[in-house]
Amino acid sequence: MNKKSVIAAVGLICIGIIFGAVLVSGLRTVDVGFAGNRQQVKLETQSGSTKNSLDLRSSSDAFVAIAKKLTPAVVGVNVVTKAKEGSRDFNDFFHFFGPDFKMPQPHPEQGSGSGVIITPTGYILTNNHVVENADKNGIEVRLNDTRRFPGKVVGTDPTTDLAVVKIEASDLPSAALGNSDNLEVGQWVLAIGNPFGYLNSTVTAGIVSYVGRDIGMKRDQYGIEDFIQTDAAINPGNSGGALVNMNGEVVGINTAIATRTGGYEGYGFAIPMNLAKTVAEDLINTGKVRRGYLGVQIQNVDATTAKASGLDKAEGVLVGKVQDGSAAGAAGIKDGDIILSVDGKAVNAANELQSIIARKHPGDVVSLMVYRDGKKSEKKVTLKERDAKEETVASADEGDNESSEESASGRTVKLDQLGFSVRNLTMEVKEKAKVENGAQVAEVKTFSEAYNRGLQRDDVIVEADRKKISSASDLKRVVESHKPGDAIMLRVKDQSGNSRFVAVQIPKEQG
C-alpha cells in the first residue's frame, strides 16, 4: 500500500469519528416520550444496606446439626379411623358388580401424619385432623429409631387444629420449643416430618415467607388462624411435624399446604409454637382447653376504614359487634371501636388479635388500647369463658314514623356515586334481618365502590357515620353531606342478622 493510500485511509477514519460524535451529541437533544423539559437523572451504583455475607459452609453445618438434633424428636403417627357409611374399597367394587352380588360394607380407613415429642415421658403434639375420628386402639406412634408404641389421645382442640397424644415410654428425645413471636420474614427454617407415610424423617429447608397468615380454613367463627407461611417443602403426612429455626428450636407445627394437586406447590403453613404450647399445656393438665374470650366480632382495618374512622393510617382491629354479657361489654368496649394493642403489643389483623387472646385463660386481665371518636383510651378486660350457647344478638333500635311511612311506599333511592341503591324496609325484611330500622340494599353495580368494598344485595344498612338510618332518604342525606374523597362508615346486617362494618369512599371526579 503506497503512502497516499495510507493517508487517505487515516483521513476517512478521522472523518468517521467526528461524524459519529456529532451524531451522538445530536441524538442527546431528541426528546423521546412526553413533551416538555426532561429532568436529568443520574443513577449511581450503591452498596446494599446489609453487610452480612452468606457463609455456605457454616449454613450447611448448621442444617446438619439441627437435623441430627431434632429428627429423633419427630415421630410418625399412623391412624385407623372409624368405619364410615358408604365407604368401600376396590374389592367391594368388584363384588358389587360381579356375579356374587354383595352390598358394600363400611370399612375403616388408614392415614398417617407426624408429631413432635414435647416431653421425655411421651407426650406428643400433633394436629387434630391427624387423630380425629381415630378408632379405639387405632393410633400407633412410630419413633425415629423404628420402635412402635400404641398412642392414646389426651385431648384435642379443633379450634386451633391441635391435639396431644401420649405413649407409655420414658427418656425419649424431646424437642426444644422456641418463641414463635420472634420469627421474621426471611429467616431460615427447616421442616421435619414423614411425608406420604413412608418417607420417614424427611428434612426440607426454606425461609419464613409470611407471619400471621389467615388462609380461610376455619371450621367455625371461633377458629383461630395465625399461620407461619414457609416455602420449606411440606406434603401430606407432614401434618403435625416440626418447623424449626436455626437455633434448633421448634417454632411451629406444620399443618396445611396451599395446593391444587394435593401435593406441595411452594407454600406451607404452620401453627405458631407460642399458641401451640398454651394449648398443649391445657390439654395435658386438664384434658381440655380453657380459653379466654373477649366476646366480640372483629374485622380488619384497611385504608378506607381508617379514613372513615378518623385514623391517620390503617391500624388496629375493628369491633363489629360486642356480645351481650361479654367480657368486652363489661369493660365498656362498644361496636365500632378499634382495638390498637393488647398488653402493649400492636395488633393490625383480626387473626392476630384472636391468636393473642387465645393464649389467655378465663380470669386473665388484658389491657386494650381502644380508639373511639378521635380519642384513645385504655380498657382493662377480665376475660371470660365462652358460653357454648353464645349467639350474636341483633340490636333492637326503635324506628321512627318516617321509616314506617316510607316503608309502605316502597321508595328506592339511588346512590350513583357509590354504585348502589337502597329501599325502605318491609316488615318481612325487618323480621328476617332482626332489625327495627335501616335501608335495604336493592342493587349493587358490578365493580363499583360499593361492590369492591363487599356490600351485597339485600344487606341492611342500619348506621352511617354512627348515625341511625331509618329510611333510604336518611342514608342519601348522610352520603350527600360528604364531598368526593371522603370515607363513610356503614354498619351493615345481612339477612341472618350478622353485623359488620363496611367503609366506602366517595370517588373523586375524573378530570
How is the chain split into domains, by residue range?
Answer: 73-166, 180-286, 292-385, 404-505
CB 255 within 8 A of CB 271: yes
- SS3 state of residue 352: helix
Rounded Cα–Cα distance for residues 126 and 219 (Å): 18
Q: What is the pLDDT of residues 276-310, one digit of tens each?
A: 999 999 999 988 888 888 999 888 898 999 998 99
In b/e form, how buried is each residue of 66-89, taking b as 16+ CB within 10 angstroms? bbeebbbbbbbbbbbbeeeeeeee
Per-residue pLDDT band for 192 (boundaries 50, 70, 90) equals very high
**Residue 145 clears pLDDT 70, i.e. is over it:** yes
In the prediction, which pLDDT does 288 show? 87
Catalytic residue numbers, as ranges: 129, 161, 239
Q: What is the pLDDT of residues 166-180, one digit of tens each?
A: 999 999 999 999 999
Query: What DSSP state is assigned to residue 177?
Result: B
Q: Where are the alpha helices (DSSP H) in 28-161?
A: 56-70, 90-97, 128-131
Read off the amino acid at residue 203: V
CATH topology identical between 73-166 and 180-286:
yes
Query: What DSSP state is assigned to residue 345?
Result: E
Per-residue pLDDT band for 103 (boundaries 50, 70, 90) equals very low
Residues 6+ apart with CB under 8 A from 298: 317, 318, 319, 320, 339, 350, 353, 354
3-state DSSP: the chain helix, strand, coil percent, rounded to 5? 25, 30, 45
The CATH code of domain 292-385 reads 2.30.42.10
β partners of residue 468: 463
In the prediction, which pLDDT does 4 show? 54
Of 98-107, 112-121, 181-190, which range is least confident?
A: 98-107
Q: 73-166: which CATH topology?
A: Thrombin, subunit H (2.40.10)
CB 208 within 8 A of CB 189: yes
pTM attached to this predicted model: 0.66
- SS3 state of residue 278: helix
**Residue 25 clears pLDDT 70, i.e. is over it:** no
> What nine digits make up the cell of 52?
452480612
In the prediction, which pLDDT does 98 show? 34
**Higher local confidence (pLDDT), 393 or 169:** 169
In the prediction, which pLDDT does 470 show? 86
Instruction: Please give the CATH superfamily to which domain 180-286 belongs.
Output: Trypsin-like serine proteases (2.40.10.10)
**Higher local confidence (pLDDT), 326 or 4:** 326
**Higher local confidence (pLDDT), 117 or 267:** 117
Q: What is the pLDDT of residues 454-509, one digit of tens each?
A: 899 999 998 988 888 888 888 988 898 888 888 899 999 887 778 889 999 988 86
Of 27-36, 232-241, 440-449, which range is least confident?
A: 27-36
In the prediction, which pLDDT does 62 show? 87
Rounded Cα–Cα distance for residues 238 and 247 (Å): 21
Instruction: Please give the CATH superfamily to which domain 404-505 belongs.
Output: PDZ domain (2.30.42.10)
In the prediction, which pLDDT does 3 show? 53
CB 315 within 8 A of CB 302: no
In the prediction, which pLDDT does 358 show? 87
Rounded Cα–Cα distance for residues 183 and 204 (Å): 18
Q: Angle at CA 200, nearest 5°, toward 197 and 205?
A: 110
